[in-house]
Amino acid sequence: MSAELNTPIEFVKGVGPQRSLLLKNELGIHTLIDLINHFPFRYIDRSSFTAISDVKESNAAVQLKGTMGAFSEVGHGSSKRLVAPLFDQTGSVELVWFKGQKWVKSSLKEGKPYIVFGKMARYGQKLSIAHPEMELVEENAIPKGLQAVYSSTEKLLNKGLSSRGIEKLIEGALPGLKGWIDETLPDYLVQKYRLISKEDAIFNIHQPKSEAWSLAALYRLKFEELFVLQLYLLQRKLAYTYKTPGHRFTVVGDHFNDFFKNYLPFELTGAQKKVIKEIRYDLGAGFHMNRLVQGDVGSGKTMVALLVSLLALDNGFQACVMAPTEILAKQHMASFQSYLKDLPIRVALLTGSTKKKDRRVLFEELQNGEISILIGTHALIEKDVKFKNLGLAVIDEQHRFGVEQRSKMWKKNTIPPHILVMTATPIPRTLAMTLYGDLDISVIDELPPGRKQVKTLHRFDKHRLEIFAFIEKQIAEGRQVYVVYPLIDESETLDYKDLMDGYESITRRFPMPDYQVSILHGQMKADAKEFEMQRFIKGETQILVATTVIEVGVDVSNASVMVIESAERFGLSQLHQLRGRVGRGADQSYCILVSGVKLSADAKTRLQAMTESNDGFALSEVDLKLRGPGDMMGTRQSGLIEFKIADLVKDQEILTQARKIAANVIENDPELIDERNKRLKRALVQLQNSRKDWSKIS
């Protein structure tokens, strides 16, 4: 890199002290290279314009060329706005500004020709564009092809740094950089994958010579961004595993064999076998396992956890299973106990509500090794929980735990226990590659046999009588029913009112003594919740009216109907999770999505996707497209999925390729010490410096 590229932004031609301050604060641009790395988010094809008379559709983005007429102010109060007509030979549209009127008036010139870009709206006969992007047509200007559009902010606009203003700064700087932009990827990769050079990419991302060059530049820069991140993740994965010694589970012993031969209640599915094999390989290899098992609801993850725990026991270690809620922990406890009831294996439960007295005994038995398997909530990672020799930690439903908790688990033994993370929230492959890029991933992509697909229907509120009649029939056949209400915010009193109203109308329609209805929500005391839950599990009540407390893990195989009220308010993954509560027995099960008639486009897509697919992975792809990666995963982990130019939704293919190539590079040269890879080593150092907060993420 030339010294010039490090020029502080205030010394770049056309910037100066005032604008430099804004560029730093608003866009994080501190030096010339930062400016050059401020990539456009879109291009205008400067060679094509729509004639105003051809503009018909509302809401379409159009590019017009015409003369702007005189400004006038119309409306009062908050609807006060500045308007001006734009004419071309075929007609006129109205340009409208609600904000920044003073600036608009002083910077745009009446009677001059402009190129105008914006979204068309139609009010009656009148066409208008609010807050258009405007550019003066310079006389005698050489016509351009694709013109870059840059993101800007209101404060920058006020200092003349609109998209065009930023473009001018870059335009001024680029010629002097010819020959100074160093290649950042190894030559052998650039050649092998036919990438354009870094310099060509930088020049063409800002000033594409043609559409083909703009695409090549986009590809090159997106690839580089994704590739370097994958290198980083894969290198770290290598450090966790191969460089961290792990307990070596060499034997398959009595516990495992005895259980497998004599007590396994069903034949494992092919997918379960495959995943156990992958895990066994890790456990025998002498390094520290960090593996994520993704499997749809009902795919049989619990049995995988149990079998792997038995392997730990066979090798002289203890195992623990951590679940995100007390209900789930108890459910795991019940499953483990029933599977192991005839075997001499001590399983214990530890949750927040374990009594102090019992705790003391439990801790003692844990330390002297009498307890072999400990199941519980996050209470497990508290400091005073000490094991004699913990060899395996299973963490169920990972996305509810922070990654910090994962690392606390590591400290439970001098050599960290193997970590098996299980999640029933399928996430798209490309997202997993990034968010869990430093874990090995196994997928249980098969459901146990004989299970009937849940039938999913969408009905409107007004069909409630029909829905009640259906519920009645199912109950008459001995089935049980869930009715779930949204409770997005615990403090939302309106949601509680909906829930209680719903409960009332259900008890009216299904009165005692013929029917029993349970209710379950977050504001109930733990023992009341437990009581109601148990009544339903034992089949004493036919209907369970609940909020999403039941979302995870509850397993009542006799329940065959899941009614989801206000289904339009739930996210796709939540709907799918809820649906997973039914279809666990041999009977045909149903999921009924109840919504209002008025639905947003996204809500329609979600509900339709649910009725069309039972595949959690397919639904997660839809979800990713609807919400984007950041919203889908919540903000906590979004640092890893924020990119300068790449887009995890659109660039899945590039990512897949980048991952493959990165794996190849790391396999051949794990430490990147080969002279040929020295640029990559530098890129990783830069990446780490620019994103210090990452260390917290995993």
Q: Which residues contact ligand ADP by CB under 6 A?
A: 266, 268-269, 272, 295, 297-303, 424, 448, 555, 584
Residue with tokens 């010294």: 3
Q: List the beta strands (DSSP E) in 431-526.
A: 440-444, 455-460, 480-484, 517-520
Helix and strand numbers, DSSP H then E, in the chain: 23, 22
Direct distance between the N- and C-terminal alpha carbons of the chain, in angstroms, rounded to an integer = 32
Minimal CB distance residue for ligand ADP? 300
**180 vs 266, which CB is nearer to ligand ADP?**
266
**91 vs 585, which CB is nearer to ligand ADP?**
585
Least gap, CB of 222 to ligand ADP (angstroms): 35
**186 vs 583, which CB is nearer to ligand ADP?**
583
**424 vs 431, which CB is nearer to ligand ADP?**
424
Least gap, CB of 482 to ligand ADP (angstroms): 16
Q: Tell me how crowded residue 653 is: count the other CB atoms within 10 A of its CB.
A: 9
Q: Using CA atoms, how far apart are residues 461 and 502, in angstroms rounded to an integer?
A: 12
**208 vs 300, which CB is nearer to ligand ADP?**
300
Q: Tell me how crowded residue 270 is: count the other CB atoms within 10 A of its CB.
A: 11
Least gap, CB of 483 to ligand ADP (angstroms): 21
- Residue type at 165 in one-letter notation: G
Helices 652-668, 211-241: inter-axial angle, 10-degree rounding: 50
**272 vs 677, which CB is nearer to ligand ADP?**
272
Six token digits for residue 385 = 């929980």
**41 vs 266, which CB is nearer to ligand ADP?**
266
Least gap, CB of 554 to ligand ADP (angstroms): 10
Structural contact between residues 419 and 698, judged by C-beta atoms closer than 8 angstroms? no
Q: Tell me how crowded residue 499 is: count the other CB atoms within 10 A of its CB.
A: 23
Q: Using CA atoms, how far apart are residues 227 and 225, in angstroms rounded to an integer?
A: 6
Q: Using CA atoms, how far apart are residues 292 and 398, in angstroms rounded to an integer?
A: 9
Query: Residue 172 is inside which H or E element, if any?
Result: helix 163-173
**146 vs 304, which CB is nearer to ligand ADP?**
304
Least gap, CB of 314 to ligand ADP (angstroms): 21
Kind of pairing between the strands at 61-68 and 113-123: antiparallel
Within 8 A by CB and 6+ apart from 170, the residues are 35, 36, 38, 148, 206
Peptide bond into 513 cis (omega under 30): yes
Cα–Cα nearest to 74, from 92, 98, 54, 52: 98
Least gap, CB of 164 to ligand ADP (angstroms): 55
Structural contact between residues 196 and 217, judged by C-beta atoms closer than 8 angstroms? yes
Least gap, CB of 303 to ligand ADP (angstroms): 5
Q: Using CA atoms, how far apart are residues 183 and 84, in angstroms rounded to an integer?
A: 48
Least gap, CB of 412 to ligand ADP (angstroms): 23
Least gap, CB of 370 to ligand ADP (angstroms): 27
**402 vs 585, which CB is nearer to ligand ADP?**
585
**44 vs 271, which CB is nearer to ligand ADP?**
271
Least gap, CB of 279 to ligand ADP (angstroms): 15
Cα 185 to Cα 143, 223, 238, 658, distances in angstroms = 34, 10, 21, 12
Q: Using CA atoms, how far apart are residues 541 and 363, in angstroms rounded to an integer?
A: 37
Least gap, CB of 270 to ligand ADP (angstroms): 9
**134 vs 447, which CB is nearer to ligand ADP?**
447
